[in-house]
Structure 1
């Protein structure tokens, strides 16, 4: 059995030696034994556990307990409970597929809203009325307005009034937020739609612009979910190989 120093493991994987120590401290790899001088002794198992952890956290999807699930996968691998790790990975993949279904469904909902009749009732609604009508909290409405997703007209007395067009826009925002698209992605799509009604909604939601300073996974949700699922399939194969080599 090959034995490696911390620096050697770090060099294999291309990380700082302190990162290897952090992985041990956080319980993401098995605790290495130490030699007579107190130096850590890493094996090929530790190398594979670190590679698996790096693959798992390469694309972190936070919503609906997905991050917690992938952490459980890594920690099960660290404890060499490969059967549990494999089971958890399969559950994780199913959850990713469900998130993708929700994201795709939201896009279809947007298409349906945009292709529907926009005449409406012609009645003007106050913020509280809109909140109750759409099942959206007042805080969400304020947040969406503050982030530029919606500009609401005011009466002379200062009260906001929402038109049928505003309601339609809010339905679109609500559908996409329920599917965990980011505010930035939704704003990008709405801006492109205002310039070109024939904008490809899927592409607009999943293609951040070059001038966006910080890009999160929810700013390109479908792309991120696809990549996370591919990574998870790779993790599954890694775990099956680890089980055959180091399983009890």
Structure 2
């Protein structure tokens, strides 16, 4: 089996030598033997484990334990338990599919809520809204501070939530439950207020070029699709490692 130095591994994988050491420290590769002078001796197995770990974190989805599960795949591979790593990856794919379903359902709920006529002139205080929507007062404050909703006040300073505000809050809650970032929700709400007939899915999934915050998680559905595709590639890598190294050394 071929052997490699730290600098050679860094060049092959395309990472900094310090990252090579971090991957070892984080348990993403198998135990590395050392020469008498202390220099690390990496093998082809380590190279494949590095490639696997790099691909696992190529598309980072952090919500609902997905990142934790991705880390578990890498650490299980480092133990040469490739069959178990495949099982975890399949579970990871199912969770991705479920997250995408939640995101799609949230968008459909937004469509229904937006199309709903506001024919009642009701008002609620913040505590009443908190109880009605089952969200904390701190969450309501946070959404207001982030510009997702602007609440009118009475002369005495108390906030008054109208029926239109309640519908807007339901939209925000639905999208937050689907793990959309506040920036993505705000963008969607601003655009929809100008054009109620616009494609909501397109708006929330496609940030503008001049957005201050542009991240993969803003494009949740796109990111989940890429993550699922990448996970299938991870399984292919693991199956190849089984052929090469199973039974493990």
How high is the TM-score relative to the length of structure 2?
0.96
Counterpart secondary structure, 1:42: strand
Equivalent-residue separation in structure 1 for 2:65 and 2:14 (angstroms): 29
| 1:125-158 deviations in Å (ceiling 9; x for gaps) | 1111111111111111111000000000011111
Instruction: After TM superposition, list the pairs within 5 Å mapping 1:49-198 onto structure 2.
Output: 49-119=49-119, 121-198=120-197
| 1:189-219 deviations in Å (ceiling 9; x for gaps) | 0011112112211111111122223333331
Q: CA deviation at 1:97?
A: 0.4
Equivalent-residue separation in structure 2 for 1:122 and 1:42 (angstroms): 70
Pick which of 214-223 and 98-107 moved more. 214-223
Q: CA deviation at 1:234?
A: 0.6
Equivalent-residue separation in structure 2 for 1:133 and 1:36 (angstroms): 68
Equivalent-residue separation in structure 2 for 1:84 and 1:41 (angstroms): 26
| 1:35-84 deviations in Å (ceiling 9; x for gaps) | 33322111111111111111111222111111111111000001101011
Equivalent-residue separation in structure 2 for 1:203 and 1:65 (angstroms): 26
In structure 2, the residue matched to 1:16 is 16
How high is the TM-score relative to the length of structure 1?
0.96
Instruction: After TM superposition, list the pairs within 5 Å mapping 1:198-237 onto structure 2.
Output: 198-237=197-236
Instruction: After TM superposition, list the pairs within 5 Å mapping 1:228-247 onto structure 2.
Output: 228-247=227-246
Contact 2:114 2:196 in 1 (8 A): no
Unaligned stretches of 5+ in structure 1? none
CA RMSD after TM alignment: 1.1
Residue correspondences, number:
247
